[in-house]
Amino acid sequence: MSKVLIIGASGATGKHAVSQMLSDNVEVIAIVRPQSSLQGVYGHHEKYSEVKAEISQISVAQLADYISQCHTVISCLGHNLSLQGIYGSPRKLVADAIKKVTAAICSLNRRTKTKVILMSTTGVSNLDIQEYVPLSQRVVVAVLRLVLPPQVDNELAAAHLRVHVGKEHPHVQWVCVRPDSLFDEQEVTTYYLEHSPTSNVVFDALRTSRINVANFMKRLVTEDELWRQWQGKMPVIYNSGP
């Protein structure tokens, strides 16, 4: 069954994720905000279906119904870059959604494990391994935790998968994808993957195009060997070249 549920599908990276999946003949159920329909773009596609709803308002039972049709759940959720988006409710948008997703998966009690792909950021450290974090970066991130709720939200979402789900869960497998400084690009270009950030993510951030993030997530869905390589890990993705 090649079918995925994409949460945050109408976002800047989510739109690319939908496009990448459909271009590779992967069926998509997209959860989009009621005011952000993608029907005008993908409504004609036989492998595209859409749910207009706020993820915070969807019940675990409703979410389980959508997930029961899929083998993978992808979260491209993020906070809008506005005062309301950053400081308004829900402050734990991503973490609460991931918790709801894993609860819905567990309620299905399937024999096969459901894959979960979370789009995160290099600002979230992988505490399962010894990552080198420069002092200046540690100081800035500590301040961000105090003043920017999205930083804490992203950390809590990754921690839920890393700590509470873990690597041997009976129903859930996961990968947490960490892009660096995101920017828009129209075409997939060459990129590379690392286990940890290779530069200071605050003062020497590298670049990652949103379409490349979407392409990597699509490959995690369609390439079993790539999934096995990164399952239970937090790969960092960088664009190659300038």
pLDDT reported for residue 149: 79
pLDDT < 70 stretches in the chain: 1, 79-91, 242
pLDDT reported for residue 138: 84
CATH class of 3-239: alpha beta
Phi, psi of 236 (to 5 degrees): -100, 135
pLDDT reported for residue 134: 84
pLDDT reported for residue 89: 58
pLDDT reported for residue 187: 96
Helix, strand or coil, per DSSP, at residue 101: helix
Phi, psi of 189 (to 5 degrees): -120, 180
Task: Give the dihedral of Cα atoms 71, 176, 165, 6; nearest 10 deg.
Answer: -40
pLDDT reported for residue 83: 45
Q: pTM of the entire structure? A: 0.93
Please state, in angstroms and rounded to a whole number, the distance separating the CA atoms of residues 158 and 153. Answer: 9
Number of C-alpha atoms within 13 angstroms, CB side, residue 22? 20
Instruction: Tell me the pLDDT tens digit for each residue of 97-146.
Output: 999 999 999 999 999 999 999 999 999 999 999 898 888 888 888 888 77
pLDDT reported for residue 224: 96
pLDDT reported for residue 27: 97
Task: Give the dihedral of Cα atoms 223, 8, 169, 198; nearest 10 deg.
Answer: 70
pLDDT reported for residue 58: 94
pLDDT reported for residue 202: 86
pLDDT reported for residue 1: 54
pLDDT reported for residue 208: 97
